[in-house]
Structure 1
């Protein structure tokens, strides 16, 4: 921006200088030449007044002093020099002046003015005044040099003023840009500082007001999430304690199996609440890494959890890993939640056999969830909150799954419409220590 402001100001100043200086230079040249010719004419007239008609009979003529650096001479009708200085014989200017007219012209590199001398309505001579044209040219060049210096000074001042104004305009905008970068980095307390430019101050105030509103909205959203999570965790903890107490007191095998399944479901729900709360707190801030889990073990646990639900619907669930080693690890809880959303969508909206396959891509693991159904509508809308399938609805599962994938540095996308296929890409973590205990 600074260079642009300087270029605009310099261009405007240059155009103004050209439009003013060029006509002024031409006017100065014309004026200096005209002044010199007027000086020569006055000298010639002064000499003509002093010429007596008797000079033709030998009476001496006393001409005034010639112009500085010039010559002044008296010529008779035969164009012979009778007094003063000048060319011998007279030139074309003298010849033209003998026709009873004042003549201005050039001759041999000189500016020349010839004035006729009349007596009894007859021209009896010509007074010729001349000076070198180079002297006037030197004066013109000198004045032009001064004018060029003035123009250069004006352009220099214009550049300095333009740079100052560019700095005045650019510094607040650069500060505003740094402020926006700080906000992008997660510093929601940053505010744009006022400047000396009213328009930029208005933008800064509007930006600060917008940021304040967004900060308040985000604070209310996080407070709501924290409150909701707290209200959910308390009854979930109580339910877990009740189920654990029931397991300790009940010896019936069938009841014990149901209690164990309910307790496992309660623990998974508790993990889901914790992960949603973690995601809400990490938006726009540094993410806290989730506990890792081995990919093969993760698939076995997911298959064991979902197999019964698909079996009750008369459908099959197949899970497997293609070339994924046991030391390839991914964040356990969020990946489980994302795959849970995809499997639940396949169970509710899909048809036929559901397949969950993991593929090793080197620096990432791809989880493919496919079924024998079809999906309609625009692909981006599937991940918008409030859309279910091809029609608007209240679904938030895919939107939450996408946010969880982004929080992991991964990506969730629709990779097939018929049959339906979703692919989750997750960066892998290979560690020597065992961190599965957090999953």
Structure 2
């Protein structure tokens, strides 16, 4: 990319220089042609004025010195010719050429052209309407060629300098332009390798910085999404322990009482396996679904399922479950989310609590409140939602996240006896 940008920059400089230099070179060439013609005409007119009186009187003319002997006039030679075409004074061919003869005819005031290797200009010297002589001024063509060549050489050097400067500037600015892109590509590569903490540097170029900011935002969103997915996976795996624990307790109880009806244990195990399957389906659904319009929650059916789960989980431990309803209002929420929240609270009461577990669904004005309480010890100032090294609190964090996703809240309403309350907004009347 660096080479391509430099090549394009130099090519643009070359094209611009050529487009500018060609008309300028042509104009310079025309200028030098006109300048030489003006020099020759000035020299011829000066001599013509000086010798006109002598030619008119028939006296030998004296050609005055022209110029200072160096510079442009040093290459100019001037000669005076008579009407018969012979050189009278000055320098030039002994016999006049066609240009001088044309000037002697007095049909033109100035006649220019080339004779051999010279640029020639001839003017007639008149006395009234009579031609008394012709003044010829000449300059070698090489003088004009040298002037034009020197000018073109200087222009070529300037063009080479301009192109070289363009090349140097292109290298400098290409380095400044390409380095942020290379760093941006490296950051994108690290992001593709799974490093979501990567951040692209700022280059001071708005367009590149905008791409870098977009890449940083993408890395942040991907990292946060992945972190949520990991947290959800950890919490979901913890949540699966509840039905597995119930199934294990039922199987252990069947083993400890070999005289009991094995079909009852099998049926209880199948029921626990069904609850485990439902838990897996709920977690998968909750991981995929997006927040939208919810249907009205069938609270009666949900509490019946909770009763079956609670009896299977608490029965083998010699504990009981009590479910009460005090005119609970309807609410719109995901049945899977509420089922998992209550399952977490029930598992928490069975694992860390004591005695009878009480579930109370009640009306608190503008919300449905579901309390899950047990007869365990006072929690005091303990934060039950904080994750401990033993893993306590993982399920409660999942339950609180699910409750908040449904627009509700989950909190510890009383530490003694431990009572957790799920609040869900009541459906409008």
TM range, smaller chain: 0.5 to 0.7
1:45 aligns to what? 45
Q: 2:87 aligns with which of 71, 81, 89?
A: 81
Paired position in structure 2 for 1:174: 182
SS in 2 for 1:64: coil
Q: Give 1:247's match in structure 2, choosing from 249, 255, 259.
A: 255
Q: Determine the structure 1 residue equivalent to 2:139.
A: 131
**Which secondary structure state, in structure 2, belongs to the residue aligned with residue 227 of structure 1?**
helix
1:232 aligns to 2:233 (yes or no): no
CA distance in 1, matches of 2:142, 2:255: 121
Aligned residue runs from structure 1 range 283-302, under 5 A: none
Q: Which runs of 4+ in 1 moved over 6 A?
A: none
Deviations 1:187-214 (A, max 9, x none): 0111122111011111211222232223
C-alpha contact 1:112 1:129 (8 A) present in aligned 2: yes
Change (3 A) 1:54 1:205: closer
For residue 196 of structure 1, what is the aligned residue in structure 2? 204
Structure 1 residues 78 and 85: CA distance shift in structure 2, 3 A = same
Query: Cα distance 1:126–1:235, how it changes in 2: closer, same or farther (>3 A)?
Result: same
1:34 and 2:73 are equivalent in the alignment: no
Task: Flag structure 1 segments of 5+ consecutive residues without an equivalent.
Answer: 277-439
Give, in angstroms, the shift of residue 116 of structure 1. 1.1
2:10–2:163 contact (8 Å) kept in structure 1: yes
- Structure 2 partner of 1:7: 7
Q: Which moved more, 1:150-159 or 1:204-213?
A: 204-213
Superposed displacement of residue 58, structure 1: 4.7
Q: Distance in 1 between matches of 2:203 and 2:61?
A: 86
State the TM-score, normalized to the length of structure 2. 0.57
User: What's the TM-score, normalizing by structure 1?
Assistant: 0.56
SS across alignment from 1:51? helix
Distance in 1 (CA, whole Å) between partners of 2:223 and 2:85 is: 102
Corresponding residue for residue 17 of structure 2: 17
The answer as to 2:175 corresponding to 1:154 is no
CA distance in 2, matches of 1:180, 1:71: 78
Residue 139 of structure 1 and its aligned partner are, at CA, apart by: 1.4
2:192 is aligned to: 184
Q: Matched residues in 2 for 1:204 and 1:127: separation?
A: 80
Contact 2:111 2:121 in 1 (8 A): yes
**What whole-Å deviation, never above 9, does each CA across 1:118-147 have from its counterpart, x for those lacking one?**
113211101111011111101111110110
SS of 2:92's partner is coil
Match of 1:172, SS state, is: helix
Number of residues of Structure 1 aligned to a counterpart in Structure 2: 272
Decide which of 84, 89, 99 is 1:93's aligned counterpart: 99
Name the counterpart of 1:63.
Answer: 64
The 5 Å alignment of 1:97-108 reads 97-100=103-106, 101-108=109-116
Structure 2: 5+ residue runs without aligned partners?
68-72, 285-429
Q: What CA distance in whole angstroms lies between the structure 1 residues aligned with 2:259 and 2:117?
A: 133
Q: Is the 8 A contact 2:120 2:139 kept in 1?
A: yes
**1:294-329 residue CA offsets vs partner (Å, 9 max, x unmatched):** xxxxxxxxxxxxxxxxxxxxxxxxxxxxxxxxxxxx
Aligned to 1:418: none
Residue 250 of structure 1 deviates from its aligned partner by 2.3
1:68 is paired with a residue whose SS is helix
User: Cα deviation per residue 1:354-379 (whole Å; 9 max; x = unaligned)?
Assistant: xxxxxxxxxxxxxxxxxxxxxxxxxx
Larger Rg: 2
8 Å contact from structure 2 (residues 251, 265) kept in 1: no
In the alignment, the residues of structure 1 paired with residue 151 and residue 131 of structure 2 have an alpha-carbon distance, to the nearest angstrom, of 40
For 2:141 and 2:176, the matched residues in 1 are separated by 52
Distance in 2 (alpha carbons) for counterparts of 1:60 and 1:21: 48
Question: Matched residue of 1:131: which SS?
Answer: strand
Aligned partners of 1:247 and 1:256 also within 8 Å: no
Q: Which residue of 2 aligns with 1:217?
A: 225
Would the alpha carbon gap of residues 251 and 7 (structure 1) be closer, same or farther in structure 2, given more than 3 Å must change?
farther
Over aligned residues, Cα RMSD in angstroms? 3.1
Shift of 1:246: 3.2
Q: 1:125 to 1:60 in 2, by over 3 A?
A: closer
Deviation at 1:157, TM superposition (A): 1.4
Tell me if the contact between 1:10 and 1:155 (Cα under 8 Å) persists in the aligned partners.
yes
Counterpart-to-counterpart distance in 2, 1:233 and 1:24: 89
